[in-house]
Amino acid sequence: MRLPYSSGRGRHNSTRAGASGPKRDCSQSIAPGVVIEIELSPDGPVGYPEPATSRIEPLASSTQGRIEAMCGRFVVAGERRDLLGLFEIELEGDNLPAASYNIRPTDRINVVVESVKGDETPVRRLEGARWALTPSFSPTLATKFPTFNARSETVAEKPMFAASVRSKRALIPASGYYEWKTAGKEKTPFYIHPPEGMIGLAGLYSWWKDASLADDDPARWHLTTTILTREAGGWLREIHDRTPVPLPPEWWDDWLDPTIEGDQSFVDAAAEASVSVADALSVHEVAPIRGDDRADLIAPL
């Protein structure tokens, strides 16, 4: 089987070797104001697209993004070596977040991304990122409205996320996530998870530069990320009308590949492919989720 956007690299599906798709020439600009780094440069982290310097429309209203009430807490359990093996990581970042049973928006989370220099093969990396995407044109790290989720149905149209859809897509490893079913004034928490192992949630990333810091200060760069959502179906809709987008492994290569130019149809195809993964998830009710971080938070009642 060949995916419609297959890069032909075939990490997870060897039958895709030699497949072709809409790929970028990485020696040239990949979007207005976004250039692939060839050498070490003070203008951006090595091997990542350089953030745009031109200012796009400011974050003036919620019409540029939609606040999501779902997928606001998730879990990453187990050992880091599990992540490295499952997602075939080639380069491990520094100071990666530890396992957690209560990850919240703006927390630092593990993300899988790919970077590329020139026409070389992209390198798969595990990095730590702030869970709330900040576009490069934002004047501040904190945006005017929550950006930890992005609606997959319209994400390519939003200035907040459009550049990331094109070439800065990520996978967010998760052991499972919490969702709340609302009935009147009562909210009941549930833990939704695969029968075993982990899932890779479709996400986007962006680098934000703190202009108040010196160019040679490594703390000036912030990697930020968001998790895509879609309309829930089947039994998931009985809990909440939105759900994250858990990609099947055969989609991981293309979703991460920065040489494949993403657009709305690409996102739509990925969201549709996630249905089979979502349908196979398990669920059970849990005790109220508070501010602590304990393994028994995911224990069924």
Q: Looking at residue 98, which CATH number applies to its domain?
A: 3.90.1680.10
> Is the pLDDT reported for residue 165 higher than 50?
yes
Q: Whose CA is closest to 32, among 47, 48, 51, 46? A: 51
pLDDT in tens, 99-127: 999 999 999 999 999 998 888 889 999 99
**Residue 35 resides in a domain:** no
Task: Say how many domains are in the chain.
Answer: 1
Instruction: Give the per-residue SS3 of 118-151.
Output: CCCCCEEEEEEEEECCCCCCCCCCCCCCCCCEEE
* Structural domain span for residue 146: 68-290
The answer to the question of residue 151 being in a domain is yes
pLDDT (tens digit per residue) in 175-233: 999 999 999 999 999 999 999 999 999 999 999 999 999 999 989 999 999 999 999 99
Higher pLDDT, 265 or 52: 265
* Percent of the chain's residues with pLDDT above 70: 76
Does residue 218 lie in a domain region? yes
pLDDT tens by residue, 25-35: 333 222 333 32
Q: What pLDDT sits at residue 50?
A: 40
Task: Of 9, 271, 272, 35, give the one whose Cα is nearest residue 166.
Answer: 35
Residue 21 lies in a domain: no
Q: With respect to residue 210, please indicate whether it lies within any of the assigned structural domains.
A: yes
pLDDT at 2: 36
What does the block give as tokens for 37?
A: 């780094």
Q: Does the residue 31 lie in any domain?
A: no
Facing residues of 34 across strands? 31
Spatial neighbors of 9 by CB under 8 A, at least 6 apart, are 16, 121, 122, 253, 257
- Amino acid at the residue 46: V
pTM of the predicted model as reported, rounded to 2 decimal places: 0.81
The angle subtended at Cα 107 by Cα 104 and Cα 113, nearest 5°, is 110
Question: How many Cα atoms sit within 13 Å of 18 on the Cβ side?
Answer: 2
Is residue 4, in this structure, part of any structural domain at all? Answer: no
Tell me whether residue 296 is in a domain.
no
Sign of CA dihedral 269, 4, 1, 170: negative
* Measured distance CA(198)–CA(200) in Å, rounded: 7
Task: Please tell me the distance from the alpha carbon of residue 256 to that of residue 88, in angstroms, as a whole number.
Answer: 12
- Statement: residue 170 has pLDDT above 80: yes
For residue 34, what pLDDT is reported? 30
